[in-house]
Structure 1
Amino acid sequence: MPPPIEALTPSQATLLAVYLVSAADLPRLRVLIAAHPKVFLTSANNETLLRILLCLPETTPPDTYTPILDAVVDGTPLEPPAVDADTPSIDTTSVENLSSSRCERKLSQLLPAPLLQAGSSASDKLTAFLIQRSERIDAETGLLSLIAELLAHYTARPGLPSIAALATDVAVLSTLVYTFSREPVPSLTTFRTLPVEDALEVLIADPSTVPRDLEALVVPYLCVREGGGWDAVWARLSALPFARIVAVVREWTPPPEERAVRAEFVTWAVGVCYRCMETGAGVWEGMRAVQRRVVALGGGGDAHVPEVLGDLGDAGNPLFAALGLLDVGITAAAMLGRPLAEAVKLRLEGSREVQSAVLRQFVRPGTEWSKRDDEAWGRVRDGARWLRSKAQVLGRLEAEEVERVVLAGMLAGMRFGLVRDVYVTSNHTTDISLDEVEKCVLAAFNDFVDNATNGNKTRGGMKNALQAIKTIYPHASNSPTLSRANSLINAVHSLSNYTMPSTNRTTPLIPVQIRIHPDPLSLLSKLLSSNTRSYQHPDALLQIGSDLVHGTGGSEADTLAASPRVLGMCAEAALDEDDFESAYAYITSRLLPAATSRNEAARSTLWRTALLAGRFQSPYALLSGTTPRGPAALANLEKKRELLAWALAYCPPEALGDVLASWRRNEDDIEVLMQAEELAEEEHARLGGSVAQRRMSIARDGETPQSLFEVAKGAARVFSSGVGGGITAPPKEGQERERKRDVVSGMVTRGLVGGLGWVLGAQPSVEVQQR
């Protein structure tokens, strides 16, 4: 018969307890403990009992062994359960024949390692047991609810703070598994050893549920952690997309009792806005929501605005407390299309040059700005003025500069009606003077002209250039500069009606080449050479020349010289096209009156053009080898002699020899022609012609060639009479007409006064010396 349990040695009783616990036979275990209290319940041996209880099956209901645990912690006797006649006795056969040493060997194999060092308190031992028991249950079964049931018995017990933290971890994991159905989740053992940063990766894994997870998981988890760990929370939240961060700020409220956490949350929320590098309508709306939420959480005060942006990663940055600046900064960032930090930095640290560049980008962003309508341009102007005055983001710029940039943008965007209404008609409501408006208009005018591909003022760049100056000219300003711009448009437009090749002769002349041409009047020479018979419209060319000189900033002298020069070009073009009569008409009827009015430019042009026409030989006659005959030919030579006389009258002394050589050739040509005519008449008379027919000879009325010596003698007589240098203008209607030959001879004589007088020993008059 086996011995009673009271007869068991301590080693045998301990080994038997292990067997009973492993079989979850807790009633008999309690009987065994009651029979051997010194073996199990003394302070020296109670850890052994806790180690034995760790051998319980993990599914054992906690309420079946918590009374034993209470006896261990409290040090009170453990009452055995009530035993009736039907309760079987404890079987000791498994240990009765084992020696103490053998029992010890078996116990070392079956029992877990010691919980704590010797001398630890009962509370510490119980804490260690509960932690190991909870981890064993989780590892073997994953029944977190069973762990929670076990720990619930001790969470309110004083002296067990670690159990409250353990119970919180179990509750957090239970919420993840049972409430949120989150899989996979780390084991309790792993979760308890995770650093706060890694644990938050587990708790805040789904960006779409962050506000809920903060409330249900993170707050409980951190409330039992020493040191809080909220810095890690802010860092984890900062890694979320900005839209999710906005949702967190709007939907989650920090624990009311945690004032420090709430203050940190407000600072973090403002800092997130400054660190956000995103732009767009959704971002600005989100920042507005953050600002409103921050104010609602008690951040309504406004700190002093700092002088620099500072370190945006520093939670102590005073910038984060300046909520008024945040409000203005969000609006400015939205208007500029820049991150908030850039907009605020522009206000605090931006130089005048940088702010000026930002203003230009604001007025003309991207490629679509020119398509704005008047309403959109009005918003741009209001925005630019607000950015300078209220937001001070462009505070280093003058109001006039802001208006100037906006005005230039409107002009470049071809909103001419708006420019006239705002900056001209209502100029008193702007920050820019009418003179500055005129400068902006002229700058835009030049840009349009320089980018125009065609000179026609009814389309393209030239049309825009004309509309630009019409915003102010002539109703608001008739300044010389605007007048010149208008003349340039007229000149370029008129030139566009002609063929005007550029320097490479393959592409047409464009407006900018006209505007910057060093000698714009010379373009008319190209016009005349490229457009047949264009010289027949001198009045149109004179107007173009006048507009060209005036429009390109020519001086008064240039303007005075323009008309004679254009007429000279027309005469030369007529000669180039074998039209001597037109050239003769231009010289005698238009250039000559200007020359006699003491226009030096006209005089210079007259003698050169007259000399060229006086030398003219018809290309047709030269090519055909024929010699002109008859009255028409002699009349032509007489006209050339007249032209050479005018050339002689107005040429400088150094050109006199060349003019006289041409004169002599002309006289020779006349003499040859007259001799040929006389021979022809004699032949005609010999053949029976009448005297009347002979008198039709070209050498009628005693008009025989006058030699150069005779002309020189006439010049000497002029000198001796003390009269010289005066040029007689063509006779007016009603005056007695001199014989044409006498007039021409007189001109030549007087012309020689200044050129040959020194040969004859004459002393010219003061007027001649001045010439």
Structure 2
Amino acid sequence: MTSDPPALWTSLADDELTETHIDTLLKPLPDHLWVAAACVDRLVDDVDVQRQILELGLQRTGTVLESCPPLAAVDNDPTGNEEATPPQVGIAELKTYFEDNQADAKLCHLRTVLLQRLDRLNTFVESCKVIPDGEDDESETEDEESEEEESLEDWEDNPWGDDTNPHTAGNAEVKKQSSTPPIPLSAFLTDDLVRLACLCASKQWFEAIRCLWHRHGEQLWQYRFVILDNIPEYAQPQAYRHVLPEFDIDADKERRPPTAPHRATPDLVEDPNVVSAVQVCHPTQAAIWSAPFAANAALPSTELADWYKKRASAIADEAGLVDVALSIIQHGASQGLPGLDEFGEELSLFTRLIYDAPASPRTGDHEEWSLARWLTLTPPQVIQAYVAHSSPETIVRDIRDLVNPYLFVLESRADREGKSDPQISTNLLHEYILSAPIDLTVSIFEASKPTLPQGERLLRDDEDIARLALACLYGSNSLDRWPTMSRIFECLPAWDISQDEDADDDIADTTMASLGAFVTPSTSMPRCTPTDLLMFFKPLPLSSLSRALDILDVHLESGEIFSRWGSPAPLRWFLQSNGNEAEQRAWAHRIARRGAGSDEHMNTVEDWEWILEDMLKLCGKSDNGIRGALGLIPRKEVMRIVFAGLLGTGKFEVAKELLRARHAKFTLKPADIEEICISSSHEFYDNATSGNYKVGDMKLAYDCLCVPAQSDKVLQEKEFIEATSRLSSFNLTSRGNPISPIEIRMTKDRLSLVSRVLSSNADAYKHTEVILDLVYKLGFRAHPVAEIKTLSMISDAALLAEDFTRAYEVSERMVADTLRLRTEPNGADVQEASQVCWMTCYQLGRQPEFDDVQKKLTLLGRAMELCPAEQLNDILVAWRKLDKEDAEIRAERLGKRHRKKSTSATSRKPLQSIGQQLYHAHTPIHSLAARLQDFKMPTTPLLNTPDATALASKTFRTVAANFPFGTRGRPHEGSANGEEASPRPEHDVSAQASRALAKGIGWLIGDDHS
């Protein structure tokens, strides 16, 4: 190991240095500059060692004060007055001297560094004496002496960690620490002061900050707000109130706290001129800490107040500690800063919301709030926020503890601003009640009952309570809270207003009419809100207000009845419908239908009498002369509506039992019962999707007609249902789908349905009686013309199927019915029947495929008998042609017979005359002869047309509309002289009338409903 002291000194590490090393290795060295540089170069964490190093360095650098003539001249000033300002050192002289004497310049620079470190060391020592507030209260004892002697190691968060009692330690030295302090001395001596202060602030070492400001205020003043912003938001302002900005109320600006000088007399090297001269000759890079905000000057009152508000807002919003934010604002307000009282007021109200208002019942947490959001709320929104999560059990308490204090603050503010409004609290509270849910509203009214002591009532004005209750109830959309609404009504005051009965009725009618018009929706006001209703009730006198409560009582009872039978209505509906009979009748039907279907056990007469009793109560008047909800409907009409509702449920046995019951409340006449049953049957019929009267709504329609007495009208309705079922079994279609019952009922020409049956079913014409029975049940039982038209359609269907025998038989029946009808004076019906009959006979009699000439002659004879006079010539031409053909056939047949039998008698037999042919054709010769007497044969248009039968066919199609039948072929008629023309082929019949296979008799009689 070398014995050279400088080498030994430099070989030692900083943590190995001791006071002995300083005394033995450094002090003996004669080179002042080297020793001073060695002292600056060394930084240790031991306070005593570091102090000895600094003192040695200052001692060696002190020689420059004597060796430097400019400094020596100032140092040897003969004035001897310590308080006098020392003379300034000439900077030009110093620069010249230091340029020539670099060693002295370095010594001055080193002395400046050593002085700064000594000041930091003293600050460090002073800071170690300070114990952070609020640390380890558990270590305190009742003995004051033992408390003073307690060591710092018993404190939990001692930032310095020394084991020396700060109260017994000396001012200049501290004992050796037993543990490493949070900030090492070496770092404290060299780090930036602002950064150190910010670190102390973040660690909440408020006394250390105070010490730094007191000893280094000149360097830290402009960064005070940067340092304060590093204090955690959760720190209690009372703990660091001594470092918060202070306000000078007299100067109306920030007060700058005083700072203590490090030395009574500044050292010469600290002179600004000396520092500048040394910097020129010995430049150094000083660490400059860049702060985001610096304020050299004291802030005015408004800016200082803004800082407090900003700090409080950060604490409230970022940390969520509204009480801490309130505390710091209170500290600022206590100094007289303007504007902080109002801000503190808002914070106090906000604190109530955060800490006192009920939490969400679902999550148990409060809503996310911020002070910035709170400050944007309007008074109604603030009230709503206070009670947003209130329950019926807590709403009254929350209004008293949260809402009422807020309303008091609003009144005070209005008074301070010169805008006094004694109704502001009342109006805001009423506004909330009008918008509150009904569960909360009922608790408020129950806490305001007139029977409670005046001091305990939440709302103390009886008229206000009545108006609020009327507005809340009539403005509510609730349909199922009738017990709750009744609880509100029970809380309302009752006034004894003596008036005569007529006056009471007038007041009730006027009030009801006014209310009904007010709540009726319009384009300007689609829905009347509770606030709008309150404006309506406010000007009402006490008498009208009392009558309004009577009306409310009736409406609440009506609402409960409506709800009981499954047809609830909002309370305002009873006002709207007061003068509207149609609306009341519609709702009565709704009650009867929904009430009947709301309970599956409504199967007894007593149940339906209960419905009737309730509805009769609704159409009556109360004891106060107020009409019920259905007061415009007569009692008889109510009975009809209830009975129709019973039938609508399909419980026909109950309906029969109800009509047979003794002392029945349904006092309806048989005619009324029949009308209701038919109407209900029609409704079932129209709603049916299938025509089969054995199932579904069609069965209900049929069974409903079994309830009343079986009159002709009822039987006719039942037959029509049977006909509908029969038609549905024929698989008729409409627009590609099976025909629906409602389409059958809406068909104007019901015979067209029969025509569709005959055209869509190839064998239908064979069952004449079945088709006629269908026609009877369609409503044509007493209509012979309809029967004749039906027979005509059957004949035409048989003709289309080339079943001439059946077509002739049906035609004979049709002719017999027509002749019988002609004996009766029916006017137009006879003409219509004759028109159909002769055209049918003419159509069949002129068919060339029909080979029975005698029957054809008979048909043409009937056609000539029944046709109009202008058509007789045409038919006669066809008859003559047919007669000629018959004569030729007879002659040929007789010639063959004569040759075979060789009998002259037969060959000489003359042909029958026209009269004899008519006789054999069973034509009434006398009537036909009378028609032909003196009849001149005109030239008929038919004979001049290519087809002599076209006109007859067209006429037939016109009369028998919807008869989709045609002839197999038509003969081409001859000229006017009766000569035969060449034959002309006719068009084929329609494809849909082609020969189809018969389905059997089952579908004809309606048994097949598949």
* TM-score where L is the length of structure 1: 0.57
Match for residue 547 of structure 1 among 738, 755, 777:
777
1:21 matched residue in structure 2: none
1:656–1:755 contact (8 Å) kept in structure 2: no
Verify: 1:352 aligned to 2:591, yes or no: no
Q: Tell me the CA shift for residue 673 of structure 1.
A: 2.1
Q: Tell me the CA shift for residue 435 of structure 1.
A: 2.5
SS of 1:261 mapped into structure 2: coil
1:290 matched residue in structure 2: 488
User: 2:665 & 2:687 partners in 1: Cα distance?
Assistant: 32
Match for residue 805 of structure 2 among 581, 593, 596:
581
2:441 matched residue in structure 1: 245
Measured at CA, do residues 492 and 175 of structure 1 come closer, stay the same or move farther in structure 2, by a change above 3 Å? closer
Measured at CA, do residues 201 and 661 of structure 1 come closer, stay the same or move farther in structure 2, by a change above 3 Å? closer
1:653 matched residue in structure 2: 869
2:636 matched residue in structure 1: 400
Aligned ranges 1:84-233 → 2 under 5 Å: 139=327, 207-208=390-391, 209-215=394-400, 227=422, 229-233=425-429
1:734 matched residue in structure 2: none
Q: Tell me the CA shift for residue 220 of structure 1.
A: 8.4
User: 2:745 & 2:385 partners in 1: Cα distance?
Assistant: 73
SS of 2:698 mapped into structure 1: helix
Measured at CA, do residues 231 and 386 of structure 1 come closer, stay the same or move farther in structure 2, by a change above 3 Å? same
2:644–2:676 contact (8 Å) kept in structure 1: yes
Aligned ranges 1:673-752 → 2 under 5 Å: 673-678=889-894, 680-681=896-897, 685=900, 691=901, 705-708=911-914, 711=915, 743-744=919-920, 747=923, 749-752=925-928
1:327 matched residue in structure 2: 553
User: 2:772 & 2:652 partners in 1: Cα distance?
Assistant: 32
2:466 matched residue in structure 1: 267
2:898–2:906 contact (8 Å) kept in structure 1: no
Q: Tell me the CA shift for residue 453 of structure 1.
A: 4.0
User: 1:542 & 1:105 partners in 2: Cα distance?
Assistant: 120
2:320 matched residue in structure 1: none
2:716 matched residue in structure 1: 484
Paired letter, 1:212 = R
1:408–1:444 contact (8 Å) kept in structure 2: yes
Q: Tell me the CA shift for residue 351 of structure 1.
A: 2.6
SS of 2:628 mapped into structure 1: coil
1:447 matched residue in structure 2: 683
Paired letter, 1:653 = A
User: 1:702 & 1:374 partners in 2: Cα distance?
Assistant: 92
User: 2:549 & 2:330 partners in 1: Cα distance?
Assistant: 49
1:643 matched residue in structure 2: 859
User: 1:250 & 1:262 partners in 2: Cα distance?
Assistant: 14
1:452–1:511 contact (8 Å) kept in structure 2: yes
2:780–2:786 contact (8 Å) kept in structure 1: no
SS of 1:389 mapped into structure 2: coil
Paired letter, 1:352 = E
Paired letter, 2:750 = P
* TM-score where L is the length of structure 2: 0.45
Rg bigger for which structure? Answer: 2
SS of 2:491 mapped into structure 1: helix
Q: Tell me the CA shift for residue 540 of structure 1.
A: 1.7
SS of 2:933 mapped into structure 1: helix
User: 1:760 & 1:205 partners in 2: Cα distance?
Assistant: 108
2:620–2:631 contact (8 Å) kept in structure 1: yes
2:728 matched residue in structure 1: 496
SS of 2:729 mapped into structure 1: coil
2:446–2:488 contact (8 Å) kept in structure 1: yes
Q: Tell me the CA shift for residue 664 of structure 1.
A: 1.7
User: 1:702 & 1:491 partners in 2: Cα distance?
Assistant: 61
Moved more, 268-277 or 580-589: 268-277
Q: Tell me the CA shift for residue 490 of structure 1.
A: 3.0
- List gaps (5 residues or longer) in structure 1: 1-103, 111-134, 148-168, 620-632, 686-690, 715-740, 762-771
Paired letter, 1:575 = L
User: 1:400 & 1:672 partners in 2: Cα distance?
Assistant: 81
1:571 matched residue in structure 2: 795
User: 2:324 & 2:806 partners in 1: Cα distance?
Assistant: 123
1:612 matched residue in structure 2: 843
Aligned ranges 1:299-338 → 2 under 5 Å: 299=494, 305=508, 306-307=511-512, 308-309=514-515, 312-314=533-535, 316=538, 317=540, 321=546, 322-334=548-560, 335=562, 336-338=567-569
2:467–2:534 contact (8 Å) kept in structure 1: no
1:355–1:396 contact (8 Å) kept in structure 2: yes
User: 1:658 & 1:378 partners in 2: Cα distance?
Assistant: 73
Measured at CA, do residues 275 and 579 of structure 1 come closer, stay the same or move farther in structure 2, by a change above 3 Å? closer
Verify: 1:670 aligned to 2:893, yes or no: no
User: 1:231 & 1:136 partners in 2: Cα distance?
Assistant: 33
User: 1:565 & 1:287 partners in 2: Cα distance?
Assistant: 69
Q: Deviations over 1:85-141 (max 9, x none)?
A: xxxxxxxxxxxxxxxxxxx999x989xxxxxxxxxxxxxxxxxxxxxxxx9998569
Measured at CA, do residues 473 and 454 of structure 1 come closer, stay the same or move farther in structure 2, by a change above 3 Å? farther
Q: Tell me the CA shift for residue 142 of structure 1.
A: 7.5
Q: Tell me the CA shift for residue 181 of structure 1.
A: 10
Paired letter, 1:312 = L
2:339 matched residue in structure 1: none
Paired letter, 2:857 = R
SS of 1:758 mapped into structure 2: coil
User: 2:690 & 2:795 partners in 1: Cα distance?
Assistant: 29
User: 2:329 & 2:404 partners in 1: Cα distance?
Assistant: 27
Q: Deviations over 1:160-217 (max 9, x none)?
A: xxxxxxxxx9999999999989999x9xxxx9xx999799678757523222234556
Q: Deviations over 1:402-454 (max 9, x none)?
A: 33444444444434344444468779623654333333333333334344444
Verify: 1:436 aligned to 2:672, yes or no: yes
2:571 matched residue in structure 1: 340
User: 2:432 & 2:353 partners in 1: Cα distance?
Assistant: 18
2:772–2:787 contact (8 Å) kept in structure 1: yes
SS of 2:691 mapped into structure 1: coil
2:853–2:882 contact (8 Å) kept in structure 1: yes
Compute the RMSD of aligned alpha carbons.
Answer: 5.2
1:592–1:606 contact (8 Å) kept in structure 2: no
Measured at CA, do residues 109 and 360 of structure 1 come closer, stay the same or move farther in structure 2, by a change above 3 Å? same
SS of 1:207 mapped into structure 2: coil
Q: Deviations over 1:598-640 (max 9, x none)?
A: 4574655554333333223228xxxxxxxxxxxxx6xx22232
Measured at CA, do residues 387 and 642 of structure 1 come closer, stay the same or move farther in structure 2, by a change above 3 Å? same
User: 1:179 & 1:593 partners in 2: Cα distance?
Assistant: 100
Q: Tell me the CA shift for residue 493 of structure 1.
A: 2.7
Aligned length: 533
Q: Tell me the CA shift for residue 757 of structure 1.
A: 0.6
Measured at CA, do residues 509 and 700 of structure 1 come closer, stay the same or move farther in structure 2, by a change above 3 Å? farther
1:562 matched residue in structure 2: 786
Q: Deviations over 1:567-610 (max 9, x none)?
A: 33322222221112222233346743762574574655554333
1:754 matched residue in structure 2: 930
Q: Deviations over 1:28-62 (max 9, x none)?
A: xxxxxxxxxxxxxxxxxxxxxxxxxxxxxxxxxxx
1:388 matched residue in structure 2: 619
